[in-house]
Structure 1
Amino acid sequence: MYSQKQKLSLFLLPKQTANKSSMEEMIRRYGPLAPKRYRYSELKKMTSSFKNKLGEGGYGTVFRGSLQDGCGVAVKLLKGSKGNVDEFLNEVISIGRTSHVNIVGLLGFCLEGPKRALVYEYMANGSLEKYIYLENSDLVIEWEKLQQIAVGIARGLEYLHQGCSARIIHFDIKPQNILLNQDFCPKIADFGLAKLCHLKDSILSTAEARGTIGFIAPEVFSRGFGVVSTKSDVYSYGMMLLEMVGGRVNKERENTENSSDAYFPNWIYDNIAEQVQSCEVICDLEEDMRKMTLVGLW
C-alpha cells in the first residue's frame, strides 16, 4: 500500500509542479502590469481575520480591509473556486489592466491552493441599489445626480466593450454591481461572470446562462432569441435604467394576475406620468426622466 501511495505521489508531483510553473510564467509574462499577488495570511491581516463583512453574494463574500499605508480596500473571497487556474489568472490580469474612472480598480489577488480572492479599491457609498428604491427613501438621491450616474455607467460599459485590449462582456449589470465612491462616481464591479473575447469578435459562445433574473438578456438563456454579444450587457443596462426611474424591484410585478402588466418595461411605460407627478419635479427634470425611460426601453 505504501508503494502504491509513493507511485501516486510521484505521478501527481510533476503535474502540480507544471501547473505552478505555468501560473508563475503567466504572472511573470505580464510583469508590472499584473495586479499584486497576496498571500492568504496577508488577506487575514489586512481584514483583521475577516472581521468586517460588507456584503455577500452568490460568488463570494466581501470584507472591509486596509493596506499598510491605511488605504481602504474591499477583499472578496470567492466561493467554489475549483475552476481552471489559467482562466482565473487571465481574467484577473485582464481586468487588472483596465483603467477607467467608471470601472472599480482591482489592486490585487490571492491564489493559494483552493483559496482565491480579489482585492478591490474600497467604495465609501456602497452599491447603487440602496439609493434608488423607495423603501430606502432617506437615501434616495436627486434626479440630476441619478442621470450623471447613468451616464457614467454607460461610459464604463463602452470602455469594457470597445476600449480594452480584449473585449470584456460583464454579464451581470445591475444596481447591486454598481459601486459609488465618496463623490457618488459610479464604478462597474463584480466581474465574476465576465467573459473575455478578441476585439475582432462580435459574438461570444457560452455553454450556460449567466446573470440575474430580471436583468439577463433573452438570448443569454435561450439561443432562439439570437446570439450572445456585447448587446447582452446593453439589454441589462436598459433594464437597470428602468429600475432607476421606477424605483421598484422587478420581481414585485411577478405576482400580477395579468402577465403583460407584470412585464416591467410595460409597467414603467404606463406609469411614467404618475411617477413624474408624484415626484413633483420641475419641467427640465421631467424631461430627463422621460429620456432615461426611453433609453431604457430602447
Structure 2
Amino acid sequence: MTQQPLSDQRVDSLARGVWGVVATPFTDAAEIDEESLVRLVQFYESVGAAGLTVLGVFGEAAALTASERMQVLDVVAQNSKLPIVAGVTSLATAPAIAEIENAQAAVGDRLRAVMVQANSGSAVTVIDHLARIHDATGAAVVLQDYPKSSGVTISTDNLIAVVEASPFISAVKAEAPPTAAAIARITARVDVSVFGGLGGQGLLDELAAGSAGAMTGFSYPEALVSCVTAWLAGDAEAARAELTPYLPLINFEQQPGIALALRKELFHRRGLFATGTVRAPAATFPPELDAIAAEHLAQLDGEEVR
C-alpha cells in the first residue's frame, strides 16, 4: 500500500510522550518468538506508551529477513492499538523505499511514520534522499541522527536545515551526544517534536532542553513513562523522583557493545521474554554480569516504585 503524498504544509508532529523501541524476541533457536513480542507490546500499552517504534537498531532489524520484518510488524499491529513508527535500515534511497512499502503493506493506516537515518553529513544530500522517499511513499518521516549506528555525522545546523526543507518530517530523534545541546538548538529553530534516545541516559536533561519525550527502550519502560508524564504535566521535581531509582540500571543497561544483550536478558528476567537470545553478530549476555544484573533487579524490587 502506497500512501497519498502529503501537501507542502508541515505534517502534525509526533505525539509527545514515550515511544517504546521494540526489541525483537527470539527463541533459543533464534527464531522470532511471537508470544514474547505480544507480551512486550501489550506491556508498553499497559504502562502508557504514546506509541511503538518497531524495527529500529535495538529491534535487530538488520539481522531480520524482509519476510521476518513483515512478520514482526504484523504481530505488533494485530496485538496493540498504539500508533507505529517503522524503522528503515538502509541508508540508500531505493532499498529504503522498498522497506517502507513493505511496512505500509504490513501495517496499513496504523503506520504513523517511518524512521530514516541521516545518510550524509550534507544537508542537500539528506534533503534529496528524504524527498525521494516521501515522493515515492507519501510517508511521514522521523529523522534519526544516530552516528553510532549509521556511521554518518551531520552537524546540528545541517540537521535543522533538513527539517526546515522537509515539511513531511514529523519528528527528529536526536542521538548524537551531547543530545541535550542539540535538542535545545533544534527546538529553538523548528516547530517539530524532538525525542532523545540512548536508553534514557540523558532523559532529564533532554526534557529540560525541550524534548517531546523519549523514543527509546529500557527494561523498565514504565519508569520512562512516569518521568515524562510528570515532566509534561509541569512537575520537574516529580519527574526527577520517578527516574532517579532507575538511573543505576539505565547506566548498566547502556554499556557499549552489550547493551542489546543486557536489555533482552533483563526483559527475560522480568518475564516479558522467554529467552534473552540475540542474533549474531550481536554480542551475547556476559555470564560474569549475572550477579550484578540480579542485584540491580533486587534493588528495584525493594524500592517503593511510584
Larger of the two Rg values belongs to structure: 1
Query: One fold, TM greater than 0.5?
Result: no
Return the TM-score normalized by structure 2: 0.24
TM-score by length of 1: 0.25
